[in-house]
Each structure stands twice: as C-alpha cells, then as structure tokens.
Structure 1
Amino acid sequence: MRINPETVDRIKQTADIVEVVGDFVSLKKKGANYSACCPFHNEKTPSFNVNPVRQIYKCFGCGAAGDAIKFVMDVDGIGYGEALRYLADKYGIEIEEEEVTNEEAVRQNARESLYIVLNYAKNFYQQHLHEHEEGQAVGLSYFRERGFSNNILKKFELGYSLDKWDSFSKEALEKGYSSEVLEKAGLLIHKEGSNSGGYDRFRGRVIFPIHNVAGKVIAFGARILKTDKNQPKYLNSPETEVYHKSEVLYGIYQAKNAIRQQDHCYLVEGYTDVISLQQAGIENVVASSGTSLTTEQIKLIGRFTPNVTILYDGDVAGIKAALRGLDLVLEEGLNVNVVLFPDGDDPDSYVRKVGAEAFKEYLRKASKDFITFKTETLLQDAGNDPFRLAAVIGDVVNSIIKIPDAIKRQVFFHRTADMLKVDEQMLITEGNKLLRKQQSQKPQERTSRQSGFSPSGPADIPLSNNNINPFDPAPFDGPPVDLFGPPVEEQEALVQHSRLYYQEQAFIKLLVLYGTKELEPGTTVSQYVLGEIQGIDFKDTVFSHLLTMFREHLGRNSVLPTEYFLNHHESEIRNMTIEWLTPKYELSELWSEKFEIYVPFETDVLDKTAFVNILRLKKAFVEEKMKACQQQQIQAKTVEEEIAVMKEYLFYKGISMAAAKELGNVVG
C-alpha cells in the first residue's frame, strides 16, 4: 500500500522539525535557530543546525541536510514510507493508502518488512501475557511479584511467549508472514535438515521488547522462569539488519525525554533495573543489556546529555572489569559519575527494598566522579605495596589524559595528586609520557575534515580541526598538534573550482534565495539580474540547468520561489538550497542591543548585492574568454589570425578593467 499524496502533504505541513529532531538529540536555542552535536557523525563541538522557519536541518561537519522526513529516514535507517508512517503516528494523522502495483510491492524495503513483523510479534506476546491462561498464570504472576503496575507493563510493552514449539510462528505464517522474514527478524529458527517451518526462538519466557530511539521494536530479550540448566536464563534476539546490540540501549525510547529535561542519564545493566527505577519515578535510566559499554552506546547517551551516572551492584570483580571500559566514556567528553550499591544488591532489588525516596537520596549521597571512584577502588586494592601503588598512578593518569577538556584534566590532576599523595607536576609529566608513547605507537591521524566547500567559495575552506580548540590551555608539553589543518600546498590541492564557478554559484544562490524579492515596484531580482546577463551561459552543468529554469519561467512571467528548490526532486539541488539557507554563523544580538553596531542583512542591500554579482560574473566570464584568446594566440598560424585574436583579447580586457573599476579593485 502507498500513502496518498493528500496525506503526505498533511504530514509535511504538520510535522515540526524542532520537535522531530528533538526526539533524537538535545537541541539548544542559538539565535533564531537551534544547534546540537550531529547524530550522524562523531563530534564534540555542535555543528548541527535546525532552522524552524524553513523547517530544515543542516550539519556543517558531515554535510547532512534535509527536512523532518529526511531526518527520520537517516537517523533511523528506514525508507520514505516508514518515515511518513512514523510522523503520522507521532502527530495522530490517519493514514490513507492507495493500492500499489506488484512491482512496487516487490521493491518494498526489506527493513520495513522486519519492523512490521517485529511489531506483530510484540502485539502477539502482549496479548498472550494478558489474555492467555498460561500467560496470566506464569508471565503476569512474575511481573506482579516484581511489583510492576499495569501502566509500566504497557509503557514497556512487556509480553509472554507460550511454552510451545511453534505457537508464534504457526500463527504468523497463517497471517501471511513469510518464514524467510520471520527468520531474518530472529523470531524463527529452522531445523537443520528439516523441511518443516522451524520453531520459535522464544518459548516459555517473559518478553522484553527492545525499542530504538524512534520507538520501533527492533529485537526482544526473554527471561526463562522455570529452572532448566540446559537453557540460558536470558535469551536475546540475534543481530539482524535492524538490530545491532552494540548500538542499542534498553529503555532509551522511554527515557529520552526525561534524560533531556533533567540533563542527566542513569546507566544500569539489566531490563528489570530499568523498569523498576522507572516505576519508582526515576525515568532518566537506560541499560546496556548486560554487554560491555560500547562507543556507539556512549554516543547515543551523548545525543541527549553529557552527564551520566553508572549504577553498579557490589560485585568487586565486575566493578574492576567495568573500570577498564569506562575510559571510552571519558574519551567521548561525557561527565561520568559512579554509584556502588551494598553487597548483594542491584538497582532493582535496592529500590524495592528501601523505596523510591530513600533510593533517590542514596544516589545523591553515594555518587562519585569516575576518576575519584577509580582512584579509591584501586588504592584500596593496592594496599601499601609500592609497586602496586605505582601501577595505580599509571592507571589513573591514563584515564585522566582521555578527558578531552583541558580544564577538567587540570582539575583531576590536582585532585588526584592529593588522593595519591604525590606531586601534581609529576602526574602531569607522567601524562605527557603516556601521550608520547601512544603517539609513537601509531602514526598521527588527522581528524576528518570537510571535503566540500561552502557556497561562498574558497574563503570558507575550514582551516581548523573541528575537534581541537587552539585556545584550550593544554597542560601537556608533548608533540605539537596539527591545530590549523593541512599545509598550504594541501589546501591548494583541495581547491578544484575556477573563479567563474564561484561567481556562477553566487549568481544562482541570489536567484534561488531572493529571486521573488522586488528591488523596486514591478521589478524582481530575477527580472533585473537575468536581463543584465543576456548572452552569458554557465559552464557548470547544475548551475546551467538552474539558470535555464529561471529563464524559461521568466519568459512565462513567473518566478520560481525558494520553496520550489527546497522540495525539488533532485537531491543535489535540494541539498544545495538547504546549505544556502543555513548560515554557519549568526550575528550576536549584543551588537545592536548593547553596542549599537548595526550590520545590514542581505535583504537590506539586495540592489547592491545584485549589481555586484552581475559585475563579478561578467568579469569572471570575460577573464575565461581572455584565457581562451591566449591559447588561440599561441596556436595562431598567421599574423592576421594573431592580430584578430589580440583585438578580441583587448576587447574583453576593456570589459574586465571597467568591471574592476566599478568594483573598486586595485588591480584589473
């Protein structure tokens, strides 16, 4: 089925880009727009911009751009139709669909098929928990013993799988779902050497659906309730096209708004830890689902807050193992705290033992920053052994140097020196040694830079590393860092376009953004500038295509508006328009409010901008002609040909000089 055009238009008009993006990242107001760290690539300095007026987003780091629909498609890895359905569900818009051809049905996105069957499975398990006799007697009784309310069961969409070989797959196949899709979704296991349909992966277990950030079910966790040494206590979905365990946090969909509002995230280990804390009113909590914390999971938390507190039970061996992996969190720039529970307790058991208020009070009192916690834990284990104490110093310093912020590093060096009873400068020196050792073990790698150029031309080529602040007071005296980008010769190698290209680009940008504006009553920017460049054609194919479009519409007494290009079917034109509409920097309001310095906007000086663009385009155009004349002169076979070429050259030279004079250039 295909969503009809009227419904698509209604979804586009209703969806608000700030609300949609805000469901996935934490946005901060910045002038008229909003900014955040980009969800599509790793960055610590926000370069992701959301424009609420134009309803578009643009990342200056990786180049990602689009509208609300494109954002949902990219952030969730789904097709156009599924993105529309997600937005329709979010805004309560009823979907009206049309029949599709057999060919279109065959081309249906495989990922969308997985989402559909996983959602069906979730509903199946939910229904059996509440309505089937076995589900009520076994599954629902277990959740009641845990103290889970009906609201919390509904919020996390908990379910139960019957203790039968094929109760789910048999019904799913009867409903028309193919065994191939069921197997790809991790719900069905085929018997080796058998022609039968296979058997259910989950049997006789309570079911914990795992959601992605958008709320779609992507996998399941299942706990067995009977004692069976041949069966694992917990069983999870296998890796699929939509489920990668290292990139998922259990409960992130239910917790994301609370995390963003409270600017803090609690990280636990298990499903029931999350659910119990949510029921106790601690909603900003997620779980790593028993896996070691990964970089992808850390980045997922970082979309919503830089502050994370990790809750551990009292298992000493587990704590020491976890400490080795937490340096990853520091490297990503997050502020990490740790809470340790009494022996024998985990977050789930402790909150049920002491109650919600006492639990929250314990979190406030027992929370320690990670460096302090690690130092105290390792010191306690080392005792008075000098060799082990020396190893502790190296281990702690190795964690401190992972912190990207120089001021925070200095604070922790100072505090840790007091705890370890050593000289602070000695710790800093040790940090320098470790840095040099790391850098000598592997060649220096430059942080990835932008490969494209800003529409305003070569002046906007990025010269500084996005992840390094050259003004940070680094406490190390290690090898010099490449703060200002590639050498000059490399920068020059990046420049691939001629001056004419940039003038054509500036001219088209003027038409796309301001073509409908009137310079004076009855005369639009389009009419004026196009009338002044008769006989000039563009060399760049995209700009030439756009110029032709403007000329054709002007011939019919119409001007193409900006919205036409924002919704253009060609992605190159659409993305180019978004880039032009999204300024990389915004003027501070203090300039006018406090200092009374008034800077005119492009719309205030359109007449001058249009005039200058025309002159610069003509100048660049005739300079290309002059270059062609120079080549013709070299190839001339007779004196007459050489003189004719020279006359043509001088004609163009005169135009170039006149344009230079009008522009105020010192050299023509």
Structure 2
Amino acid sequence: MISPAIIEQVRQTADVLEVVSDFVSLKKRGSNWIACCPFHQEKTPSFAVSPAKGIYKCFGCGKAGDPISFVMEIESLTYPEAIRFLAKKYHIDIPEEEEQTDEARQAQNERESLMIVLGFAARYYQETLKNHEEGRSIGLSYFRERGFTEATLEAFDLGYSLEAWSAFTDAALKKGYQLELLEKAGLTIRKDENKRYDRFRGRVIFPIHNVSGKVIAFGARILRTDPSKPGGAQPKYLNSPETEVYNKSKVLYGLYQAKQAIRQHDVCYLVEGYTDVISMHQAGVSNAVASSGTSLTEEQIRLISRYTQNITVLYDGDPAGIKASLRGIDMILEAGLNVRVVNFPNGDDPDSYLRRVGNAAFKEYLQKSTVDFITFKASLLAADTHDPFRKAEVIREMVESITRIHDPIKRSVLFRQVSNMLEVEEDALLAESNRIRLQQARKESDRAESQPEFTSAEGGLPESFLPTETREASTPHNTLQYEVESGERELLRLLMGWGNVLFEDGYPAGDHLLEMLADADFTHPVHQKIRQEYAELRNQTQVPDAAFYTQHSDGEIQKLAIHLLVRKEELSDGWWERFKIAIPSETEPKTLLHLMETSVLRYKTSVIRFMTHDVNEKILEAQKSGDVDTELQLMSMHIELKKVERALATSRGNVVIR
C-alpha cells in the first residue's frame, strides 16, 4: 500500500523525542530523556528516550523501538497505520495512487476498516446536526441551549442521529460499507437477515476520540422519551459497545482535546460526564477529562500519568458521586499520583454549577474549594465521629488510603495531619499502617514464590531471547546455555555498536571480530542471523553502523539491538572535567580490540564448559548402561575439552584447577 521510499522518508523524518513527547511528559537527564513508562505501571521512571540514537527503551518492562514502533504500541496501530499517522504529523504526502482504493479498503484488516467506518459515522452525524432539518431543530437547539458555541461543536465533533430506524445504516450501505463491518463497529444492530436498525436514533452524539484524535466510539443522549417513537422507551444515555478499537476502561473522554493543557498546567481535572468536559473546555478550563461512563480504572490513571502527576477530582455532590470519588482517590494514590478534590454544593455537577454561576465564578470556586484528599475524606466522615467505634473505622479508612502512598515522606506528613485533625496518637496511626503494609508484603511474597525460579540478569531482555527451558527452571544445563547466549549477545553488542570502527590496518572492527569467531557458530538463531547478515553486507562492501540495527526492519533484531546498545546509566561527558579521571572509550581502537579479544575468549570458554557438561552427562548414562566403549570415547572427549579450556584460561590469564 505504501512505497518503500515513503516509508524510508517517514523513518528519516520522524523525531523520536517529538513523537514520544506527544504521549508522555519527558524530563531531561544527561543525554537522554526519562519518564514513567506508558506501557506498565511504575513509581520510578525507567523509560528512556535517546534522541541521538533515535530510539526509546523501558528498563522495567523491556519495551523498545523507534518512533514507528512506539506509535504502533501506544495507539495499537498496524504498521501501515503508524506510517500514515507519522506521515500526517510531518506533512509527508502519500501519493494518491498509493491511497486506499475501494478494492484495497475491502482487503484491509478489521481494525483499519473499523477506524474508517467510525470516521464516516462521525462525519455523517456532524452533517446531520448542521444540515438536516431535524438535526438543526432538535440536536443543534439542544447544544445551543447549553451554550455550546460553533467552535466547541467543531472541537468535539458533536453530532446528531435521526429519529429513524435505519437512516445511518442505509446511508453507510449506499456508500459501500459492509453490514458486517457496521455491526462490528457497534453502529448497527441486526436481528436477522431482513431486520436491521441503527444503534443510535434520535440522540445527540458525542464522539469519543483516542489520544491521536481518531474517533473510536460514540456516546449518545436521547432528547425525547416518547414511547410511540422508533424503539419505544430507551435509556437516557447509550454508549458504543466494546470493539476491536474501543475498550472503555482504557479511554478518557476529552483527553485528545485536553492533553496539551494538562501538560501546560501540570494538573488534570477528572469529571464524570461528557457535558462536564465540554462546558469546562468552553469556559477556558481545558485540562478536563471524563472517565467515559465507567468507574475510574488503573489504565485510565496510567493514561493521565503520561501528561501529569497531579489529578484534581471533580465529582457530583450526591452520595453516589461521593462514593465514586473515595474509590477513585485510593486508586490514584496507589498509582503514585498526587490527588486533590473539589466537591460541588447542592448536588450540582461541574456543568450545572458552571451554567448557574458563570465562567469567572466557576474558576474562582475551583481555586478556593480545591482541598487535599485527607481534608476531603475527613470532612465527609466527620459527622460519624461522635460514635467512638465509628470514629475508629473512619481512622482506619484514612490510614488505609495513606498507606497506599509509596513515598515515605508524604506518608509521614499526612499521618501527622490526620493525627491533629482527628485527635489520635500518631504512633497508633503508624502502627496500623505497618500492620497493613506487613499484610501486603506477605501477599506479595506468596505471589513471588509462585513465579518461575529463573530471572534474567539482563533486565528487560525480550523474552523470546531466553531459552524456553531457562524460563521454566534454573538447572545447570539451562544456566550454562544461558551463559553461552549471554556471551553471544556481548559479542553482538560490540559488532552492532562498534563494528564500523576502523582499525590501523584500515579494516572495520567487525571484520576482526568475525575472524576471531571463524571456528564457532552462534547457538541462538537470531544471533546467527545477525552475524550472517553482517558477513553478507561486507561482501557487498557495506559496513553497517549502530543505526542500521536500531532501525532494522526485522522487529526481533531491532529489539535486541536496542536492548544491547542502550544503557540505563551512561557516562557523563563531563567526567574528566569534574574528576580528572580518564575512562577508556569503547570507540578507541586499542580498547575495542582488547574488549573483543577478551569477550571472544570468555565466550569460547562458556561454550567449552557447556560442551563439557553435556559430555559428563553422557558419561554417566554410558556408565549406567554398561557401554564401556562409548564411555571411553566420551572420556577422551572430556580430556580434550579440558585441554582447550586450560589453553583458553591461559590466554585470559586465569588459573584452572586440574
């Protein structure tokens, strides 16, 4: 679908720092930029972006790649979708003949097809709102009544669905979209071959966007409840079902429109409803998002943490809203984020309160009424604290919330605050907290005991590079096999990272390395594949550099290269200036040659040890079976292997006990 030339242009143009910054708040550290990983939950940043190398890597979960793979991972896109995404970002035109034709559209995979039909639906509902008589008289009137401006309608792509059985479905079929696809997108409901109807009928439409701005689902509010109309009595709000592209627990309504403001103000306002988000956005408080009609989830909190570590919860003043706020607060604390709360008076929600008091008074109320979660929680429970038993329960709930915080200094400050507020000894609070933490530690210990014994010493190494047997048990055979493959990876690190460094004889360092390894093949197929590719490129007089491997078209090779070439801690450029200590560089030919020679000797030693172990196992088998001839042959092999090991040890300067 997309020519290699266009793909290469995207690769050369896409800046990894710019691309990742669209989704994650990065902080500079040395030559790299760091953040908490967007792919797994963590408290301490282990996600690094290297602009110089054009790659990213998480030293916690092992996710790594270039701008294309990052977009694929973060947005759950296919490779062609990621190329188109980046092409659009960098204004790279894909020639019309390479755009999707009708035939190609039908051949698209399901995910791409769903995104296309959802985009069509969004445009259809917008057109209906603005240009259809019913849309203008009902849908547009409703939005105008709420005070939404034309700019707001455009910013959130608001629309309207006609009060008819199958108006949208008929229009989509006429455009050539398949009925099966409309069903999978959650837009059409089919009872049988001859009976089908629109999911959304007679409703205002709130498109739900992903972080990059593509429509992935819809929320819809009914405006009439006349049972005589199509469908009879229907629920007030109706949302898209979960699909291949939409998981409500992983989406925040309004995040696409709010992400820049969240970064700018370093706080995210978390509300409940679509209109809360839209009204606040129009009032100038554009860093607000909603949990899309679902209880707050860990995935949604992690999504917010890409842009800020500060969340202010704005919930309704009714009992249900308060209960939801308490549940959400504990989850936010557990994720390591800072949380504050605003509670609205008289049962108002953000939208109704804003419309009642106006923009200026609303912003002033936010500033004055935002409190820390301890004050908020204590005020809610204070009415019950006259009963000593109930007071004890209240205190225990407060302690449980604070214990979720991982920062010990924050915990200490909050325990002192609770102690003063509820008149209870601070030592008692700490004792209860320690009891809770001990219970948690025991649970974690039990879980750890159920995990496999073997853990990689090379943290973050893609699991596909660990032998299957090694992942299951740490036997002597598996450990020795892992040592061999670790040695191979160290040699590949030198080959991929510094193989293009020229030695005094004018030949690349990689040539010398392969010459030293002429009598030994690598055991891991990917390792051997890299070695053979280097040899083939040299036959074509090409010398691959590190970028060739970190941007490799083979995903396995690319992941391994990034894992081996990106270090969590790198030597500061100012080391000599600050401490007057000279550290040899691997790029210096003499240092590199020494590293290669040492690594080759160490690798060959591990291979001999592995072979010796296997021979010893076979000797035991021969002894058990009484096969004397085989035993003698194996003993002879064992002696020769030990001779080779001693020779290698002498070369390395080691002493081997006979």
The answer, yes or no, to whether TM exceeds 0.5 is yes
Supply the AA of the counterpart residue of 1:84. Answer: I
Q: Deviations over 1:200-220 (max 9, x none)?
A: 111222111001112111111
Q: CA offset at residue 550 of structure 1?
A: 2.8
Which residue is equivalent to 1:4?
Answer: 3
Give 1:399-414 correspondences, 5 Å limit.
Answer: 399-414=401-416
Supply the AA of the counterpart residue of 1:29. Answer: K
**Cα 1:303–1:228, aligned 2, differ >3 Å: closer, same or farther?**
farther
Which residue is equivalent to 1:216?
Answer: 214
State whether structure 2 residue 420 is matched by structure 1 residue 418: yes
Q: Deviations over 1:186-208 (max 9, x none)?
A: 11112x3x433511111222111
SS at match of 2:519: coil
**Could you tell me how far apart the structure 1 residues matched to 2:240 and 2:345 are?**
32
Which residue is equivalent to 1:376?
Answer: 379
Q: CA offset at residue 176 of structure 1?
A: 0.8
Q: Does the 8 A contact of 2:40 with 2:61 survive in 1?
A: yes
Q: CA offset at residue 513 of structure 1?
A: 1.4
Which residue is equivalent to 2:200?
Answer: 202
**Could you tell me how far apart the structure 1 residues matched to 2:615 and 2:454 are?**
32
Q: Does the 8 A contact of 1:18 with 1:52 survive in 2?
A: yes
**Could you tell me how far apart the structure 1 residues matched to 2:573 and 2:429 are?**
44
Which residue is equivalent to 1:429?
Answer: 431
Give 1:454-469 correspondences, 5 Å limit.
Answer: 458=457, 460=458
Supply the AA of the counterpart residue of 1:348. Answer: D
Give 1:485-500 correspondences, 5 Å limit.
Answer: 495=479, 497-500=481-484
Supply the AA of the counterpart residue of 2:380. Answer: T
Q: CA offset at residue 102 of structure 1?
A: 11
State whether structure 2 residue 359 is matched by structure 1 residue 356: yes
Moved more, 559-568 or 369-378: 559-568
Give 1:227-238 correspondences, 5 Å limit.
Answer: 227-228=225-226, 230-238=233-241
**Cα 1:136–1:424, aligned 2, differ >3 Å: closer, same or farther?**
same
**Could you tell me how far apart the structure 2 residues matched to 1:322 and 1:159 are?**
30
**Could you tell me how far apart the structure 2 residues matched to 1:602 and 1:300 are?**
39
Q: CA offset at residue 411 of structure 1?
A: 1.1
Which residue is equivalent to 1:313?
Answer: 316
Q: CA offset at residue 443 of structure 1?
A: 7.1
Q: Does the 8 A contact of 1:4 with 1:98 survive in 2?
A: yes
Which residue is equivalent to 1:86?
Answer: 85
- Tell me how large the CA RMSD over aligned residues is: 3.2
**Could you tell me how far apart the structure 2 residues matched to 1:646 and 1:392 are?**
72
Q: Does the 8 A contact of 2:139 with 2:204 survive in 1?
A: yes
Q: Deviations over 1:366-404 (max 9, x none)?
A: 11111221012101x215222222221122112111222
**Could you tell me how far apart the structure 2 residues matched to 1:559 and 1:297 are?**
46
**Could you tell me how far apart the structure 1 residues matched to 2:574 and 2:453 are?**
33
Q: CA offset at residue 517 of structure 1?
A: 1.1
Q: Deviations over 1:587-615 (max 9, x none)?
A: 34564453344433322332332232333
**Cα 1:611–1:328, aligned 2, differ >3 Å: closer, same or farther?**
same
**Cα 1:281–1:409, aligned 2, differ >3 Å: closer, same or farther?**
same
The correspondence for 1:533, drawn from 517, 538, 545, is: 517
The correspondence for 2:578, drawn from 594, 602, 607, is: 594
**Cα 1:171–1:596, aligned 2, differ >3 Å: closer, same or farther?**
same
State whether structure 2 residue 534 is matched by structure 1 residue 550: yes
**Could you tell me how far apart the structure 1 residues matched to 2:583 and 2:444 are?**
48
**Cα 1:119–1:449, aligned 2, differ >3 Å: closer, same or farther?**
farther
TM-score w.r.t. length of structure 1: 0.86
Q: Does the 8 A contact of 2:315 with 2:325 survive in 1?
A: no
Q: Does the 8 A contact of 1:619 with 1:655 survive in 2?
A: no
**Cα 1:626–1:327, aligned 2, differ >3 Å: closer, same or farther?**
closer
Q: Does the 8 A contact of 1:111 with 1:241 survive in 2?
A: yes
Which residue is equivalent to 2:38?
Answer: 39
State whether structure 2 residue 592 is matched by structure 1 residue 606: yes
Supply the AA of the counterpart residue of 1:133. Answer: E
**Cα 1:509–1:432, aligned 2, differ >3 Å: closer, same or farther?**
closer
**Could you tell me how far apart the structure 2 residues matched to 1:101 and 1:631 are?**
63
Supply the AA of the counterpart residue of 2:397. Answer: D
**Could you tell me how far apart the structure 2 residues matched to 1:403 and 1:291 are?**
24
TM-score w.r.t. length of structure 2: 0.87
Q: CA offset at residue 121 of structure 1?
A: 0.3
Q: Which sections of structure 2, spanning at least 5 residues, go unmatched?
A: 228-232, 461-472, 623-627
Q: CA offset at residue 51 of structure 1?
A: 1.8
The correspondence for 1:286, drawn from 283, 286, 289, is: 289
Q: CA offset at residue 623 of structure 1?
A: 5.0
SS at match of 2:448: coil
Which residue is equivalent to 1:579?
Answer: 563
**Cα 1:601–1:154, aligned 2, differ >3 Å: closer, same or farther?**
farther
Q: Does the 8 A contact of 1:79 with 1:109 survive in 2?
A: no
**Could you tell me how far apart the structure 2 residues matched to 1:620 and 1:561 are?**
28
SS at match of 2:346: coil
**Cα 1:554–1:427, aligned 2, differ >3 Å: closer, same or farther?**
same
**Cα 1:364–1:601, aligned 2, differ >3 Å: closer, same or farther?**
farther
Q: CA offset at residue 287 of structure 1?
A: 0.7
**Could you tell me how far apart the structure 2 residues matched to 1:69 and 1:440 are?**
42
Q: Deviations over 1:92-136 (max 9, x none)?
A: 222235489999866632111111111100001111112222222
Higher helix share: 2
Give 1:340-355 correspondences, 5 Å limit.
Answer: 340-355=343-358
**Could you tell me how far apart the structure 2 residues matched to 1:116 and 1:353 are?**
40
Q: Does the 8 A contact of 1:623 with 1:652 survive in 2?
A: no
SS at match of 2:481: coil
Give 1:134-149 correspondences, 5 Å limit.
Answer: 134-149=134-149
**Cα 1:264–1:592, aligned 2, differ >3 Å: closer, same or farther?**
farther
Q: Deviations over 1:147-196 (max 9, x none)?
A: 22222211111111122221111110011111111111111112x3x433
Q: CA offset at residue 416 of structure 1?
A: 0.3
Which residue is equivalent to 1:54?
Answer: 53
Supply the AA of the counterpart residue of 1:25. Answer: V
Q: CA offset at residue 355 of structure 1?
A: 3.5
**Could you tell me how far apart the structure 1 residues matched to 2:637 and 2:37 are?**
54
**Cα 1:301–1:494, aligned 2, differ >3 Å: closer, same or farther?**
farther
State whether structure 2 residue 300 is matched by structure 1 residue 297: yes
Q: CA offset at residue 333 of structure 1?
A: 1.0
Q: CA offset at residue 629 of structure 1?
A: 7.5
Q: Does the 8 A contact of 2:453 with 2:474 survive in 1?
A: no
Task: Tell me the number of residue pairs that the alignment of Structure 1 and Structure 2 aligns.
Answer: 631
Supply the AA of the counterpart residue of 2:27. Answer: K
**Cα 1:93–1:412, aligned 2, differ >3 Å: closer, same or farther?**
same
SS at match of 2:313: strand
Which residue is equivalent to 1:486?
Answer: none
SS at match of 1:518: coil
The correspondence for 1:615, drawn from 601, 604, 620, is: 601
Q: Deviations over 1:497-533 (max 9, x none)?
A: 3543332222222111111111226121022223333
Moved more, 542-551 or 6-15: 542-551
Moved more, 6-15 or 393-402: 6-15
Which residue is equivalent to 1:480?
Answer: none
Which residue is equivalent to 1:510?
Answer: 494
Q: CA offset at residue 316 of structure 1?
A: 4.1
SS at match of 2:269: strand
**Could you tell me how far apart the structure 2 residues matched to 1:543 and 1:347 are?**
58
SS at match of 2:33: strand
**Cα 1:228–1:564, aligned 2, differ >3 Å: closer, same or farther?**
same
**Cα 1:448–1:260, aligned 2, differ >3 Å: closer, same or farther?**
farther
SS at match of 1:221: strand
**Could you tell me how far apart the structure 2 residues matched to 1:69 and 1:87 are?**
8
**Could you tell me how far apart the structure 2 residues matched to 1:128 and 1:264 are?**
36
SS at match of 2:311: strand
